[in-house]
């Protein structure tokens, strides 16, 4: 982009920050009305200002702030690219989104949306689209040529189904074609499509095991109705209505929230909130397989025992790995639960609790590496506590179940 164009967009930043949410709301309204086929890529439960609308608004503002230094946004763009690949975004869809985004900017800004500003935003969007399309093409190609890999969707069947809690189910699936499965990075997820339900969005579920084998396991929570949202259609079908032999369509594994179990010998800290345990278990299992003596602290915070699946699996890791430490925290233990048997601490995983669990030596704390996954509020609180404890930002990793956004928000 020309320097004059960059300055024009920067001059519009105050208005953009103020109107970013109304712009994204107008864009999605326009796009879903004119192009309903695109709606399948979005989870309806996330379509609100604190979800997808807010995530896109934040991304637009961040892009405008760093037009001439996109390297600052490298990690954020990598996450966006993998999220796009997970829902099978194709280049032609960038034209659809771009058209509705520009129309929404014009609608919301009104007279302030001068022809010069709109031309500049069209150029800025075009440049960003080119960057994303090239990166996504690279990921699709890597998936295609990987041993056991594929593009698009591949048919699997359910070969095992176990209820872990009243609301959480473990499903194991195997490819119908009986051909090999590709490897994946611990922490990655796949997108799942229900055959015959083309109107439903693809849903992402973490592969809850160490890489390897001829089948994959997912641990899925049936999402109940909450606030103004209906119960999760896909999660309830997967957990309540799916029988052995049922067919599912899966994408290749995606995601940047990963752990290399062979890298380094420093201590690993995995902090899970509720069903956020699923990608972290994959990391823990892979780490134990690679380096069982490596120090690994696994903390699982939940409302009570019914919100904490994988108890037996995590205990098995603790039994076979001398470096593995497993800590359970219940916010509201049930009356039948016993301290020291069903859980180790009462309350929240807050600054005080983390202080007691992490090394007291600041030098040792600066060398640990943390991965955090769970509800938004949990991750905001935990990341703030890690910041206070001087765990370096570069050694703190987190994953949202839904649209990604900065942990400093909410």
Q: Which residues are catalytic?
A: 94, 136
Is residue 259 within 8 Å of 286, Cβ to Cβ? yes
> How far, in Å, CA of 151 to CA of 137, rounded?
11
How far is it, in rounded angstroms, from Cα 310 to Cα 8?
Answer: 53
The answer to whether 192 touches 234, Cβ cutoff 8 Å, is yes
Q: Where are the beta strands (DSSP E) in 164-224?
A: 168-175, 189-193, 203-206, 216-221
Cβ-proximal residues to 92 (8 Å cutoff; 6+ apart), any chain: none
Give the 3-state secondary structure percentages of the chain, helix then strand then coil, rounded to 5: 45, 20, 35
- CA-to-CA distance for 17 and 298, rounded, in angstroms? 39
Close Cβ partners of 237 (under 8 Å, ≥ 6 residues apart): 194, 197
């Amino acid at each position: 982009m020309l320097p004059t164009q960059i300055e024009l967009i920067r001059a519009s930043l105050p208005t953009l920050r103020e109107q970013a949410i109304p712009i994204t709301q107008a864009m999605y309204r326009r796009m879903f009305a004119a192009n309903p086929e695109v709606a399948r890529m979005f989870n309806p439960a996330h379509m609100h200002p604190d979800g997808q609308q807010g995530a896109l608004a934040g991304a637009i503002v961040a892009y405008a702030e760093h037009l001439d230094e996109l390297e600052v946004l490298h990690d954020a763009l990598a996450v966006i690219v993998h999220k796009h690949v997970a829902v099978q975004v194709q280049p032609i869809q960038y034209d659809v989104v771009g058209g509705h985004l520009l129309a929404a900017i014009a609608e919301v800004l009104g007279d302030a949306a001068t022809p010069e500003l709109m031309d500049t935003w069209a150029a800025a969007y075009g440049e960003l689209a080119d960057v994303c399309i090239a990166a996504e093409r690279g990921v699709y190609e890597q998936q295609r040529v990987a041993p056991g890999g594929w593009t698009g969707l591949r048919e699997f069947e359910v070969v095992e189904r176990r209820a872990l809690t009243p609301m959480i189910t473990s499903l194991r699936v195997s490819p119908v074609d009986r051909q090999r499965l590709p490897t994946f990075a611990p922490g990655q997820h796949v997108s799942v499509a229900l055959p015959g339900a083309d109107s439903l969005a693809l849903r992402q579920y973490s592969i809850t095991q160490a890489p390897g084998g001829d089948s994959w396991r997912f641990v899925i929570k049936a999402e109940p109705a909450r606030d103004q949202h209906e119960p999760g259609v896909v999660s309830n079908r997967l957990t309540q209505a799916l029988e052995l032999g049922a067919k599912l369509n899966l994408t290749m594994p995606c995601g940047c929230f990963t752990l290399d179990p062979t890298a380094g010998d420093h201590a690993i800290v995995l902090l899970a909130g509720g069903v956020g345990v699923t990608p972290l278990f994959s990391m823990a299992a892979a780490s134990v397989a690679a380096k069982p003596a490596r120090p690994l602290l696994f903390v699982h915070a939940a409302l009570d025992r019914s919100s904490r699946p994988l108890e037996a699996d995590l205990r098995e890791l603790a039994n076979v790995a001398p470096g593995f430490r497993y800590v359970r925290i219940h916010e509201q233990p049930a009356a039948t639960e016993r301290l020291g048997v069903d859980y180790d601490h009462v309350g929240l995983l807050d600054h005080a609790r983390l202080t007691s669990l992490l090394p007291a030596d600041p030098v040792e704390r600066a060398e640990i590496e943390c991965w955090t996954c769970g509800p938004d509020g949990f991750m905001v609180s935990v990341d703030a506590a890690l910041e206070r404890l001087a765990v370096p930002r570069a050694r703190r990793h987190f994953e949202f179940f839904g649209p990604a956004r900065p942990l400093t928000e909410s």
